[in-house]
Amino acid sequence: MGQKHFKNYIEVNLWEDSLNSRLFADVKNVDDFYLRLSMFAGNKMGDAKDTLVFLDEIQEYPHLLTLLKFLKQGDRFTYIASGSLLGIALAKTSSIPIGSIETEHMYPLDFEEFLWANGFNEFSIQGIRNRFLSKAGLDEPMHAKMMDLFKKYLLIGGMPDAVNMFIQESNIVKVRKIQSDIKEFYAIDASKHDA
């Protein structure tokens, strides 16, 4: 998604960095961070308005959580930090940058969001909601359409990649492959934090 909205998109997977080069392991300050970032992806470091730096698995380097405050104050780029155990990392961080970070919790699509993804607009969703609240039924064609979409939602679930694949290709085999991959990758991700 960041690639769609920013001309320059820099993704730094800090878990991979911690296993390999450890380029970001000993960042001391903002200037040091920018030096290392330029060594990593200097050709993508554009203007503030067109550069997004995505720090994935930031819990690997808790000192970078504190540095986010100073990176934000410098306003050089837009930053997103994510991590599978970010809440635990925040609890262990010596200095949380209060007021400098916004927390967003990510969840799978619910049924209403699934309807949006399948072309429903707010008018149609509100109309269905109003009928439900007033205990008025849907006529047979509308009911059949909603039941068909609900059954598909139960099969596909709410993971965005699986929903997108279904919308693009209407191929449940490809959807199942994505679901299987997600399950496998989550297991691998969880196992690295087993200790």
DSSP 92-104: H-SS--TTT----
DSSP state of 116: H
CB atoms within 10 A of CB 130: 10
Query: What is the three-class DSSP state of 131?
Result: helix
* Residue 54 neighbours by CB distance under 10 Å: 19
Closest CA to 86 of 117, 111, 55: 55
* Residues sharing a CB contact under 8 Å with residue 123, sequence separation 6 or more, in sequence order: none
Find tokens 């087993």 and name the residue: 194
What's the token pair of residue 79? Answer: 């930053």
- For position 96, what pLDDT does the model report? 53
Looking at residue 47, its pLDDT comes to 87
Listed by start position, the domains of the chain span: 2-92, 111-191
pLDDT, tens digit only, all 195 positions of the chain: 677 889 999 999 998 999 999 999 999 999 999 999 999 998 899 888 899 999 998 888 888 888 888 888 888 999 988 876 555 444 455 555 555 556 666 678 899 999 999 999 999 999 999 999 999 989 999 999 999 999 999 989 888 888 888 888 888 888 888 778 777 766 655 555 555
Residue that is written with structure tokens 């940058």 in the block: 97
pLDDT for res 15: 87
Asked if 15 contacts 58 with a C-beta cutoff of 8 angstroms, the reply is: no
